[in-house]
Amino acid sequence: MLVQQRKRMAFWLILPTLLLIVAFKIAPIAEGVVVSFQAQSMMRPNPDAFVGWTHYKRAIFEEGVFGAALWRTIVWTVGSVVGAYIVGLSIALLLNRQFAGRAIFRALFLVPWVIPEVATALLWKWAYGDEFGVINFLLMRLGVLDTPILFLSSPGAAMASVIVVQIWKLYPIMFITLLAALQSVPRELHESAEIDGATVWQRFVYVTFPYIRPTSVIITLLAAIWTFQNFDIIYLLTGGGPADATKILPTLVYEKGFWGLELGYASAISLLMLLCLTVLSVSYLFVYRAQREET
Amino acid sequence: MTDTALNPGGAPRSEAAMNAWRSREFLMRLGLYLFLSALTIVVLFPILWMASSSFKPQSELFARDMTLLPVDWTLASYIAVWQGTSFPSYFFNSFKIAVASTALSVIVGMYAAYAIARIKFRGRYAFGMLLLIAQMFPQIMLVIPLFIVVQKAGLLNTHIALIVCYAAFALPFTVWMMRGFFETIPEELEDAAAVDGAGILTTFHKIILPLAGPGLAAVTIFAFIRSWNEFLFALVFLQSRTMFTMPIGLASFQEEYTFRWDLIMAGAGIITLPILFFFLLMQKFIVAGLLGGAVKG
């Protein structure tokens, strides 16, 4: 068939996909920018009235809600990603050898990843309970605790508790990508390093890690982006409480938009959130590049 | 199968050393299995606990002394959630939306995937980038403008809005993954068809699609799981109970039936089971698709 014809055909083949993506993922961004400069409050008349930077100023300076939520989002993201990376890498290293039944373990360790968010949140909530929660029950039985910990309802423990849940949800994707990367490490390198008397740790740092570093950077970045904008887990577990202890940016956006019915204000916060996310992602890659050029 | 990782020096030569090596090898294997099994149980404990709780009678759920497994196994919680609540309607709403949105995204996406896998057209690279970038935008940010649009269109509290949204949100990943599958199919097969005078679409339908079966199945399951699990858009777009999907229906149990953890656990079991089943059935393809065919064994 003629090359020209093929090319024209390609246009028709991608058109429906292009339209759907533009309509539901690209155009809403533009619409969101417009909305963030409009009153858009469901309680007031004339939602389309132009209000300039009002929402932005209010979020950053007047209410000061943005800075606090941003800080909590960073804690939540870094805690979850670092935790999930450590767990995921450990399991990947354990499974990075040939043995019968390896595929079964690999499948089982992936399971938390497919559990629906709502089920994840609710089953952890049930396990975290103070009176009838199994975690407190076990800890008290083992004599670790005298009184139950209020995992989700005390401001001091809530953030750590929700991070544990996110680690649980996130480590499988880290583990499976790192396992694939580990398989690119040449066996001979390990063997010669061991013959040269390198310890297990030295072999990991100097032989294994350089091979999985690019994958690690990409997967931690993706995981950070997903976690930064994750809404479901915290909304379902704590709703942002207690006393705002787990109120991250997505929770704040939802609260302002759909409880406070101020869509313009919520949209402004969500754009600030996207801005922060972009800046953080780009600087992460920048630091990685700079570091790689040094070595 | 020799394991060089555990025995880097190669197998020892003398008989005695060989035996010592074998028993050491055996112990290490055993240790590995025991450790991995223990770790699996710890990691999957919340799920096991959910499953166990869902088969306990209510009295055992709130007993002072907890047992790992139910003492009296019962399906009472499942019967209660299926007969005493609106859960069946949530289930069928979820099913309907997931099937429709999956079909839409797979059918639309496979043509686009084929085009970028096989045709060198201008803007191919840009289109690929657009797909990647589209994946990055936070849902919580998109939901506000989409809510306004859906409201203006009078489609709030309908399933059609969710079906189209879910399809659009699954598309970048669907296209990306299917492209990978199509690229693994030898191009010569198509050239032969082209010589015989078949057009692009005929070639695609008759030759490529049948060969892409497993990949297509993996992508379909992926899109289905995504839509089945989705929470935020359903929460914002749906308002009346009769329209609820399972995730938001189950979440609403927390207010509607406070302390009825029997209902909640059974509901969580019902929402999880089909997903788990599909996943375990297809995990090999799903993993391969995720990693672009990098994982074997």
Q: Are residues B50 and B134 in the same domain?
A: no
Among B60, B76, B92, the domain-final residue is B76
Residue at B108 is within a domain: yes
Give how far the C-alpha of residue A275 lies from the chain's centroid of Cα atoms, to the nearest Å. 16
Regarding whether B56 and B178 lie in a shared domain, the answer is no
B1 found inside a domain = no
CATH of the domain at B213: 1.10.3720.10
pLDDT score recorded for residue B1: 41
Residue with tokens 């990647």: B132
Distance from CA of A75 to the nearest CA of B (A): 18
At A227, the amino acid letter reads T
Interface test with B, best of A114, A234, A254 (most B CBs within 10 A): A114
Other beta carbons within 10 Å of B287: 21
Which pLDDT value is given to residue B163? 96
- Judgement on whether residues B233 and B190 belong to the same structural domain of the protein: yes
Cβ contacts of A115 on chain B, cutoff 8 Å = 47, 272, 275-276
pLDDT at A92: 93
Q: Residue B49, class by beta-carbon neighbours within 10 Å (0-12 exposed, 13-18 middle, 19+ buried)?
A: buried
Q: How far is B125 from chain A (nearest CA, A)?
A: 13
Q: Report the pLDDT value the prediction gives residue B3, as an integer from 0 to 100.
A: 44
pLDDT tens-digit map of B121-160: 888 888 888 888 888 888 999 999 999 889 888 999 999 9
Please tell me which residue, B183 or B285, carries the higher pLDDT value. Answer: B183
The answer to whether the Cβ–Cβ distance between B199 and A168 falls below 8 Å is: no
Spatial contact of A105 and A281, defined as CB atoms under 8 Å apart: no
CB nearest to B167's CB, from A20, A97, A134: A20
Average pLDDT, chain B: 86
Query: Is some CB atom of chain B closer than 8 A to the CB atom of A274?
Result: yes
Q: Could you tell me which residues are beta bridge partners of residue A31?
A: none
A51 class by beta-carbon count within 10 Å (0-12 exposed, 13-18 middle, 19+ buried): middle
**Which residues of B are less than 8 Å from A23 in CB distance?**
168
Residues of chain A found within 8 Å of residue B280, distances taken between Cβ atoms: 107
* Nearest to A92, CA basis, from A84, B238, B216: A84
pLDDT tens profile B227-248: 999 999 999 999 999 999 999 9
3-state DSSP: chain A helix, strand, coil percent, rounded to 5? 75, 0, 25
Do both B140 and B237 map to the same domain?
Answer: yes
The pLDDT assigned to A295 comes to 59
pLDDT at B173 over 70: yes
A99 touches chain B (CB under 8 A): yes
CB nearest B142 (choices: A25, A105, A124): A25
Q: B130 and B258: one domain?
A: yes
Whether B23 and B167 share a structural domain: no
Judge whether B51 is closer than 8 Å to chain A, CB to CB: no
| B291 part of contact set with chain A, CB < 8 Å | yes
What φ, ψ does residue A38 adopt, rounded to 5°? -110, 160
How does DSSP assign B154-173, residue by residue? Answer: T-TT-HHHHHHHHHHHHHHH
Task: Show which of B41, B76, B111 is a domain's final residue.
Answer: B76
* Segments forming the whole domain that contains residue B61: 15-76
Q: Does B71 share its domain with B119?
A: no
**What percent of chain B has pLDDT above 90?**
43
Q: How far is CA A163 from CA A26, A166, A228, A249, B40, in A?
A: 31, 5, 12, 15, 20
Residue B5 lies in a domain: no
**Which of B51, B76, B101 finishes a domain?**
B76
Chosen from A29, A117, A122 to mutate, greatest number of chain B CBs within 10 A: A122
Query: How far does chain B reach from its first CA to its final CA, in angstroms?
Result: 13
B110, B241: one domain: yes
pLDDT digits (tens, 9 = 90+) for B52-88: 999 998 888 888 788 888 888 989 899 989 998 999 9
Is residue B71 domain-shared with residue B154, that is, in the same domain? no
Give tens-digit pLDDT for A262-282: 888 999 999 999 999 999 888
- Asked whether residue B66 falls in the same domain as residue B198, the answer is no
The number of angstroms, rounded, from the C-alpha of B130 to the middle of its chain's C-alpha atoms is 23
Closest residue of chain B to A4, computed from CA coordinates: B121
In a domain, B10, yes or no: no
Please check whether residue B262 lies inside any domain of the structure: yes
Is A33 strand, coil or helix? helix
Closest approach of B198 to chain A, Cα-based (Å): 9
d(CA B224, CA B220): 6
Q: What is the ipTM, given to two decimal places?
A: 0.88
The closest of B86, B228, B221, B88 to B163, measured between CA atoms, is B228
Residues B142 and B275 in one domain: yes
- d(C-alpha A114, C-alpha A94), whole Å: 22
Task: Examine residue B203 and state whether it is found in any structural domain, yes or no.
Answer: yes
B189 with B217, same domain? yes
What's the confidence (pLDDT) of residue A45? 64
Quote the crossing angle between the two packed helices B213-229 and B261-290, to the nearest 10°.
Answer: 150
CA nearest A257: which of A30, A42, A25, A34?
Answer: A42
Q: Is B218 inside any structural domain?
A: yes
Q: Which pLDDT belongs to residue B296?
A: 37
Indicate the pLDDT class of residue A195, thresholds 50, 70 and 90: confident
Domains held by chain B: number: 2
> What domains are defined for chain A?
65-294 (1.10.3720.10)
Of A31, A116, A190, the CB nearest to B275: A116
Residue B21 lies in a domain: yes
pLDDT tier at B4, thresholds 50, 70, 90: very low
The token duo for A157 is 């423990």
Which range has the worst mean pLDDT, A136-150, B3-17, B74-88? Answer: B3-17
The pLDDT score that the predictor gives to residue B145 is 92
